[in-house]
Structure 1
Amino acid sequence: MLTLSSLADQAGLSHVKMTEHYLHPYGGYCPNPLTFLAAVAARTRRIRLMTGCLLPAFHHPVQLAAETAMVDALSGGRLDVGFARAYLPYEFETFGVRMDESRARYEATIKAVLRLWTEQGVSERTPFFSYQDATSLPRPVQPPHPPVWGAAVRSRQSFAWLGEQGFGLLVTPTLSSLAEMRDHIEVYREAFEDNHGSTGRSPRVAASLPLYVGATEVEAARTGDALLGEYLEVWAEATDSWRSTRSADYQGYTGMATAIRGLDVRALRESGGAVVGSVERVVDRVSEVRAELTADCFLWQVDFGGVTGQVAETSLRRFIDEVLPALAG
């Protein structure tokens, strides 16, 4: 991943993104995205560094504010901070956090981090944390603070809240049809415009999707479908704990593992839930998905399905050398 990050920086790509998870091959190999991104910062010069996402439910806001500001400083002001509510029951159980307080804790922590970044002598008293006269150090390099993004999956409330706050929106349209995700994105855009339209600021949407660019259609399907199959199986295993979990804060999540196992890899790439194909096919699919979702940028998952470094690098080089020029044209 460090090699791929350096390659992306040299090619002028916009972001490197890393996500926080624990205890399972589904994301658990990078429990601290900030540690990874600090290493990326040391070997790159231009590319922005995105947490996609940090999980506020498992952290104190003073910790999050200080550690994100430190990476912002180390990178010369290149950090984008994405937050997510977390959704895996075994993570909540391990950290001793109630899932039914997830949304309230998420919102309170993000608001506290924003104050710690921009104010001095901050005091907070919430059901989840409290402190008096706190001044977080170091201060962020970017004024007034690093760009903030939030992930939303299914809940219209989540899409609307991110728009109301003026944050960027992170989506992964793997379990939703592109049309359904487009409708959710419109909820976000409307909420953003209603609350921030007069400020000159614009909503920002980043879509994250698995990407594999093959030498031919046949090779892409052979390699990409195997990777997608492994990706879906590992994801389904991580969500198996939803079989016996219910939470008012996560309507519609029970039975997620069954839904994931019901996905067909060929249907997934044909529906736009993953972009797999030859250079020509990928150019067409990226254009179609971009138009459907009205996304401002893509965060391509090139490390999905237990892919080897060599295979991922070959795919990324094809994307950089052949797909991007064709899209620009």
Structure 2
Amino acid sequence: MANSNLKFGVYTEMNCMPGVDTAEAVWDVIGHIEQCDRLGYDVYMAIEHHFFPTFGQSSNPLALFSAAAQRTQKIRFRTLCHTLPLHTPTVLAGEIATADVLTGGRLDLGFGRGHAWLYKLAGIPYEESQPRYEEAQEIIMKALTEERFSFHGNKYVVDDVTVYPRPVQAKMPVYLTGTSGRSFRFAAERGWGISVGGPAPYPIFVNAMKEYRDACAKAGHKPIVSWIQPVHIAPTENEAQEQARTAAPYFYHQIAKPILSIDQKADRERLLAAGYGFYASDAMNRMLELTYDDILAQDMVWVGTPAQIANKVADFLAKEELDEFAIQVLPRGPQGGLTLEQHRRVHELFAKEVMPAFK
């Protein structure tokens, strides 16, 4: 089952749980990135997320990566995802270019619309999300690849613009994220990758991944698929299960809390019309009720020894052809999360005792 081309990564939402200082949580992640670079991971990924720290306080991943690049040697950095409708695209393009310079050309791009609960607090209507998203993608790619460009759309109009500084990379790798077949077909047509998984279970993504691969074949592009899987590893199965029994439900209950900020009943039609039907459903609400047994039954978190996790990776690779496999580690927190030492041990055990079987 070894695949020397398979890359490995780590994904974080920068969860900041109750009782953890927000600044300390940022420096935790800088330390994690340094550790992952030493351990030989290929890429470190962070979401862009605002306003709800238990889901994630990763409000400026480009700044995070620019700082971490000064402390690391090889690891690449990827935002999953830049929430494009929240930004002025020409300004974001300049920020991306600066981060590419500061990371020495180790930056990947990730685009998405982000979570529906961000829009009210950002002062942007749901209805603006999709058109802003699609036009912003085009503007950013033009800004990063063309010396001067113009763009005339329904939401944005710019004439004869050059973004400075110029990026180091002539062509940055691009990944789209989400659950939508439409979005993934868009990625396939442009030869971009997709990144799927994370806290949500595998069945949500099966059809979208197939649509992406079919669209890649039609467009003549090679599929590039990155899968993110929450894991908890310990030297013994008993230890792994004992720690995860508290930490896994705690994680899901905390990250589901932002759904309570949306008036799902009153906003239902607007959410559906904006392509945010997931947030009009009770899918996130059910996460608030998940038990440990529910989480294990749906493979939402893999729990076990390094050998057991390696077997799960092998089984997954037998049904899905991947270019990259990334882990998401359960967060720390004094009211139910892992300790900092346990969190970092997962990085180490996966790198030293799981990854070598697939290289």
Q: When the two structures are superposed, what TM-score results if normalisation uses the length of structure 1?
A: 0.91
After superposition, what is the alpha-carbon deviation per residue over 1:61-105, rounded to whole angstroms, capped at 9, x for unaligned?
A: 11121111111111111100111111232x201222121231221
1:305 Cα offset (Å): 5.7
Matched, 1:288 2:312: no
Residues 210/3 of structure 1: CA separation in 2 closer, same or farther (3 Å cut): same
Aligned with 1:304: secondary structure? coil
CA contact (8 A) 1:179 1:292 kept: no
Q: Is residue 253 from structure 1 mapped to residue 284 from structure 2 by the alignment?
A: no
Q: Residues 43, 27 of structure 1: CA spacing in aligned structure 2 closer, same or farther, 3 A cutoff?
A: farther
On the 8 A contact 2:48/2:60 being kept in 1, the answer is yes
* 1:130 CA drift (Å): 2.2
The 1:130/1:225 distance shift into structure 2, 3 A limit, reads: farther
SS where residue 165 of structure 2 aligns? coil
Match of residue 26 from structure 1: 54
**SS of 1:252 mapped into structure 2:** helix
Kindly provide the CA deviation profile for residues 146-205 of structure 1, in whole angstroms up to 9, marking residues without a partner as x: 11111022x2222222222321101126434x355233201001112212x1xxx42111
Secondary structure in 2 aligned to 1:203? coil
Structure 1 residues 170 and 80, CA, compared in 2 at 3 Å: closer, same or farther? same
Equivalent position SS for 2:119: helix
1:77–1:134 CA distance, 2 compared to 1 (3 A): same
Partner in structure 2 of residue 85 of structure 1: 113
Matches within 5 A, 1:1-329: 1-89=29-117, 91-143=118-170, 145-153=171-179, 155-172=180-197, 174-176=199-201, 178-195=202-219, 197=220, 201-242=221-262, 243-244=264-265, 245-246=267-268, 247=271, 248=273, 249-254=275-280, 255-304=282-331, 306=333, 307-328=338-359
- Give, in angstroms, the shift of residue 259 of structure 1: 2.8
Counterpart-to-counterpart distance in 2, 1:192 and 1:168: 10
Cα distance in 1, alignment partners of residues 331 and 313 from structure 2: 18
Q: Secondary structure of 2:277's match?
A: coil
Q: Indicate how the Cα distance of structure 1 residues 264 and 161 shifts in structure 2: closer, same or farther if over 3 A, else same.
A: farther
Comparing 230-239 with 109-118, which one deviates more in the overlay?
230-239
Residue pair 1:229, 1:305 contacting (<8 A) in 2 also:
no
Deviation beyond 4 Å, 4+ runs, structure 1: none
Three-state SS of the structure 2 residue aligned to 1:43 is: coil
State the alpha-carbon separation in 2 of the partners of residues 53 and 305 from structure 1: 22
- Give ranges in structure 2 of 5+ residues lacking alignment: 1-28
1:2-45 Cα distance to aligned partner (Å, 9 max, x none): 22211211222110111111111234422011011111111111
* Structure 1 residue matching 2:278: 3-state secondary structure: coil
CA contact (8 A) 1:20 1:27 kept: no
Query: Contact conserved, 1:160 with 1:187, CA < 8 A, in 2?
Result: yes
In 2: Cα distance, 1:12 partner to 1:152 partner = 27
Q: Secondary structure of the residue that 1:45 maps to in structure 2?
A: coil
Alpha-carbon contact 2:100-2:169 (below 8 Å) kept: yes
**Identical counterparts, % of pairs:** 28
Distance in 2 separating the partners of 1:60 and 1:128 = 10
The Cα RMSD (Å) is: 1.9
Q: Secondary structure at the match of 1:231?
A: helix
TM-superposed CA distance for 1:263, in Å, is: 3.5
**More moved, 258-267 vs 219-228:** 258-267
Q: 1:232 to 1:276 in 2, by over 3 A?
A: same
Q: Given that residues 272 and 285 in structure 1 are in contact (C-alpha distance below 8 angstroms), is that contact kept between their aligned partners in structure 2?
A: no
Between the aligned partners of 2:332 and 2:128, the Cα distance in structure 1 is 32
Partners of 1:66 and 1:136 within 8 A in 2: yes
Q: Per-residue CA shift, 1:193-237, capped at 9, x if unaligned?
A: 212x1xxx4211111121211121111111123221111111221
1:111-148 CA distance string (max 9 Å, x none): 110001111332223332222211011111112x2111
Q: What letter is aligned with 1:202?
A: K
Report the residue type matching 1:187 in the other structure: E
Q: Which moved more, 1:31-40 or 1:179-188?
A: 179-188
Contact 1:228 1:305 in 2 (8 A): no
Of the two structures, which has the highest relative contact order with CA contacts closer than 8 Å and spacing of 6 or more?
A: 2
- The TM-score with structure 2 as length reference comes to 0.83
